[in-house]
C-alpha cells in the first residue's frame, strides 16, 4: 500500500505539471513564445544575506563577499551564485553555468522571448523559482522570490541577472511582463551581474516587486506567468508601467 501510495502521488504530480504546461502553451502559443513551468524550491539558507557591494571590486569583476561566503582570495575565482544554497563551490565565471546545471539542477531555456510559469504561489515564504535563460549569446539567471520584507506581509521579487561581468550586463535590457484579465504590468531595466549578488538586488528593491494582492490579480489557479524578453541596449533606464 505504501508503494502504491507513493507511485500514485508521483503520477498526480506529473499530471498536474503537464496540465500547467498545457494551459500556459494554450495561452501563449499564439505569440510563439516558449513556456517553461518552474516549480518552487524552499531556500536552504538560514536567513537572507546582504552583499556589501563595493563598487571598485564590482567594476573589476570580483564578487564582494556575502555573509555566507568567505572572502575570495583569488580574483579569478567567484563563489557559487545560486541564491538557494550556501554552496562552498568556487570557480571561474565561464564554468558557473555548468555548475548551476550539474550541481543545482537548474534548467536552461533558449529563445528570444520565453514565458516563465511559476507554480504554487501560495506556498509560505521564503520560496524561490529559478531558471536560466540563454539568449543573444549569453546566459541569464531569472530569480522570482517570495519573501517577507516586513513580518506578515510577503512580497514577490523578480529580477534578471547576467552570468557575466557588470560591463557586459550594461549592454542588455530585459523586460518582465504580466498580462491577464485585460491588465498589463511591465518592468524594464538593465540586468545586474551575478557578481553583484541576488540578495542585495532584492534588498534594494531594484527589480519587479509585487505585493500579495497584486500577484493574485495576475495569477491563474496559483500559477504566475511572466513573459521575458531580452534585447541589446546601451540605454540605462528602468521603469514600471501599468
- Is residue 46 pLDDT above 70, yes or no? no
Beta bridge partners of 159: 143
Percent of the chain with pLDDT over 90: 49
- Is residue 45 pLDDT above 70, yes or no? no
Distance CA 39, CA 131 (A): 10
10 versus 150: which is more confidently predicted? 150
229 versus 55: which is more confidently predicted? 229
The helix, strand and coil proportions of the chain, stated in percent and rounded to the nearest 5, come to 30, 35, 35
Beta bridge partners of 193: 162
Cell of 49: 544575506
Per-residue model confidence (pLDDT) at position 165: 94
pLDDT for 68-81, tens place per residue?
444 444 667 888 98
Domain ranges of the chain: 33-41+74-232
Per-residue model confidence (pLDDT) at position 41: 82
In the chain, DSSP assigns E strands to: 34-38, 41-42, 78-79, 90-91, 108-110, 113-118, 127-135, 138-150, 153-162, 172-180, 183-189, 192-193, 208-211, 224-232, 239-241
57 versus 148: which is more confidently predicted? 148
Distance CA 157, CA 211 (A): 9
pLDDT for 191-235, tens place per residue?
999 998 898 899 899 999 999 999 999 999 999 999 999 999 764
Q: Band the pLDDT of 50: cuts 50, 70, 90.
A: very low
Task: Please give the model's pTM, rounded to 2 decimal places.
Answer: 0.73
Average pLDDT estimate for 27-33: 45
- Is residue 7 pLDDT above 80, yes or no? no
Tell me which CATH code domain 33-41+74-232 carries. Answer: 2.60.210.10
Per-residue model confidence (pLDDT) at position 168: 96
Per-residue model confidence (pLDDT) at position 109: 87
Amino acid at each position: 500500500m505504501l508503494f502504491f501510495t507513493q507511485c500514485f502521488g508521483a503520477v498526480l504530480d506529473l499530471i498536474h505539471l503537464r496540465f500547467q504546461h498545457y494551459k500556459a502553451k494554450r495561452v501563449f502559443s499564439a505569440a510563439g513564445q516558449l513556456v517553461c513551468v518552474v516549480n518552487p524550491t524552499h531556500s536552504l539558507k538560514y536567513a537572507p544575506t546582504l552583499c556589501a557591494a563595493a563598487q571598485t571590486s564590482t567594476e573589476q569583476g570580483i564578487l564582494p563577499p556575502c555573509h555566507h561566503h568567505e572572502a575570495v582570495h583569488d580574483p579569478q575565482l567567484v563563489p557559487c551564485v545560486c541564491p538557494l544554497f550556501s554552496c562552498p563551490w568556487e570557480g571561474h565565471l565561464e564554468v558557473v553555468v555548468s555548475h548551476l546545471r550539474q550541481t543545482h539542477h537548474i534548467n536552461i531555456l533558449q529563445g528570444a522571448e520565453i514565458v516563465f510559469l511559476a507554480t504554487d504561489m501560495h506556498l509560505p515564504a521564503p520560496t524561490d523559482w529559478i531558471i536560466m535563460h540563454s539568449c543573444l549569446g549569453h546566459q541569464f539567471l531569472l530569480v522570482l522570490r517570495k519573501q517577507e520584507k516586513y513580518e506578515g506581509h510577503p512580497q514577490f521579487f523578480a529580477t534578471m541577472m547576467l552570468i557575466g561581468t557588470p560591463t557586459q550586463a550594461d549592454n542588455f535590457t530585459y523586460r518582465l511582463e504580466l498580462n491577464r484579465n485585460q491588465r498589463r504590468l511591465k518592468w524594464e531595466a538593465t540586468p545586474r551581474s551575478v557578481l553583484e549578488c541576488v540578495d542585495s538586488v532584492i534588498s534594494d528593491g531594484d527589480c519587479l516587486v509585487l505585493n500579495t494582492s497584486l500577484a493574485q490579480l495576475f495569477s491563474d489557479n496559483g500559477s504566475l506567468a511572466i513573459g521575458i524578453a531580452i534585447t541589446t541596449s546601451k540605454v540605462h533606464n528602468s521603469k514600471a508601467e501599468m
